[in-house]
């Protein structure tokens, strides 16, 4: 049994756009709450007016010069990225969904989430500030990394987004999420927050997402595939998932974006795939479990005979701490590292065995067909 089939964590919720019918229900609920608040406010205001004999006009601020409107850091960042943001309307056998995309070339290449266009029979794109949709073709997808490359038909002269230097991103930095949240009418929504954490890893139904940026900027259905940007309007990540609470846990303002380093790496692979290159995933030949003692790392639960792991000397109950110097915080991180490697790659594995640290080397092979 290969380790890719073992998932210990609850998958994060991907913020794909909801079907339009659900969207109407949600908006009606908000409207009802607003009307109720208006009635209560009106009653209180009526009583207050009865006890006051003096009235007057509302106190208003002096006019702001037009050239000073929209000049905050967030407004400038949103304005910078705006020409490079599109709304994606994807039709499939199960219905319609709305997501967001980022223009990455002047001739119409667009990066978005795989789950925005997965299973699509038709993809239509609308540029920011326009009314007519443009047909797009899906060039390549990567479900494991939740990214897709699509391209507009007969497009030219578009404004490509600028991607930030991965080394320029730090915890605590202000960031802005931009996208077509809830497929609301008009332009994209803008929400602000900070980088809450770097290099997060989450498991989902397709494997594991690594190199994620955690943020408290609000991410909603329809934001999927849209950019998380810095205050220079540069893309630092692609919004892809939110954490939802359940009966045992609470999750507030926890969203995730695929970090720019991962975006750049996977975008290059998608372009190669679109050009006809055949890509195979690496395979180590182990199954995993989580540590139960509160420590970091992934525990080897099974080693397939004659696999790269077996030949490297990995043993059941070994705790994998690092691969190629990258810290393995849990089984999801290990899954992602091996998946993103290629057959023939040599990886260095640091494990803990019976309290002793050992360094092993394995040469990956191609992942067997299911």
Q: Where are the domains of the chain?
A: 12-38+70-274, 280-366
331 has a pLDDT exceeding 70: yes
Question: Is the domain 280-366 a CATH 2.30.42.10 member?
Answer: yes
Residue 224 bears catalytic tag: yes
Q: Average pLDDT, stretch 346-354? A: 94
pLDDT given at position 34: 37
Query: Among the options 2, 6, 142, 146, which is catalytic?
Result: 146
Spot the catalytic one: 6, 89, 97, 115: 115
Q: Answer yes or no: 146 catalytic.
A: yes
Strand pairing class (235-242; 227-229) = antiparallel
User: Can you tell me the mean pLDDT for 117-127?
Assistant: 94
Dist. CA 80–CA 91, nearest whole Å? 30
Query: Pick the catalytic residue: 90, 224, 287, 341?
Result: 224
pLDDT, one tens digit per residue, over 236-262 is 999 999 888 777 877 788 999 999 999
What confidence tens digit (pLDDT) does each residue in 176-187 have?
999 998 888 878
**Number of residues assigned to the chain:** 370
Residue found under tokens 């990214």: 147
pTM listed for this prediction: 0.77
Distance CA 222, CA 15 (A): 6
* Whole-number pLDDT of residue 110: 98
Reported as a pLDDT band with limits 50, 70 and 90, residue 362 is very high
Both tokens assigned to 251: 């999750």
- pLDDT (0 to 100) of residue 184: 82
- We find that the CATH architecture of domain 12-38+70-274 is Beta Barrel (2.40)
C-beta separation of 196 from 219 below 8 A: no
Q: Which helix (H) or strand (E) holds 127?
A: strand 120-127
What's the rounded mean pLDDT across residues 165-170?
96
Predicted confidence at residue 13, as pLDDT, reads 57
Whether 6 is a known active-site residue: answer: no
The reported pLDDT for the residue numbered 263 is 96
237: CB partners within 8 A, 6+ apart: 212, 213, 215, 227, 228, 257, 258, 259, 260, 263
Rounded alpha-carbon distances, angstroms, from residue 49 to 41, 53, 60, 249, 305:
12, 8, 20, 46, 83
How is residue 13 annotated by DSSP? B
CB burial string 159-182: b at 16+ within 10 A, e below: ebbebbebeebeeebebbbbbbbb
């Amino acid at each position: 049994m290969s380790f890719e089939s073992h998932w210990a964590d609850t998958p994060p919720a991907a913020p794909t756009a909801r079907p339009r019918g659900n969207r109407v229900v949600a908006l009606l609920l908000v409207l009802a709450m607003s009307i109720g608040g208006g009635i209560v406010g009106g009653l209180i205001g009526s009583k207050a007016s009865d006890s006051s004999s003096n009235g007057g006009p509302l106190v208003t601020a002096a006019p702001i010069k037009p050239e000073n409107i929209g000049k905050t850091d967030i407004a400038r960042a949103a304005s910078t990225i705006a020409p490079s943001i599109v709304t994606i309307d994807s039709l499939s056998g199960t219905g319609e969904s709305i997501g967001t995309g980022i223009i990455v070339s002047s001739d119409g290449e667009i990066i978005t989430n795989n789950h925005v266009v997965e299973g699509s029979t038709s993809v239509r794109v609308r540029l920011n500030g326009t009314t007519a949709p443009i047909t797009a073709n899906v060039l390549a997808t990567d479900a494991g990394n939740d990214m897709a490359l699509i391209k507009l038909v007969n497009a030219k002269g578009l404004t490509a987004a600028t991607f930030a230097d991965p080394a320029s991103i730090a915890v605590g930095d202000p960031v802005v999420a931009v996208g077509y949240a809830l497929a609301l009418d008009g332009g994209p929504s803008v929400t602000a927050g900070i980088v809450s954490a770097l290099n997060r890893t989450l498991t989902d139904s397709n494997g594991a997402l690594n190199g994620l940026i955690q943020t408290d900027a609000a991410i909603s259905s329809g934001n999927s595939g849209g950019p998380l940007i810095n205050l220079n309007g540069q893309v630092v990540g692609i919004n892809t998932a939110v954490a939802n609470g359940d009966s045992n846990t609470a999750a507030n303002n926890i969203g995730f974006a695929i970090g720019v380093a991962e975006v750049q790496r996977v975008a290059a692979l998608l372009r190669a795939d679109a050009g006809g290159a055949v890509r195979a995933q690496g395979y180590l030949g182990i199954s995993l479990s989580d540590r139960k003692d509160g420590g970091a790392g992934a525990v080897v639960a099974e080693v397939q005979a004659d696999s790269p792991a077996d030949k490297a000397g990995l043993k059941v109950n070994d705790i994998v701490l690092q691969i190629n110097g990258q810290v393995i915080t849990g089984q999801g991180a290990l899954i992602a590292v091996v998946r993103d490697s290629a057959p023939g790659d040599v990886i260095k594995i640091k494990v803990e065995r019976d309290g002793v640290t050992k360094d092993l080397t394995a040469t990956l092979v191609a992942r067997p067909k299911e």
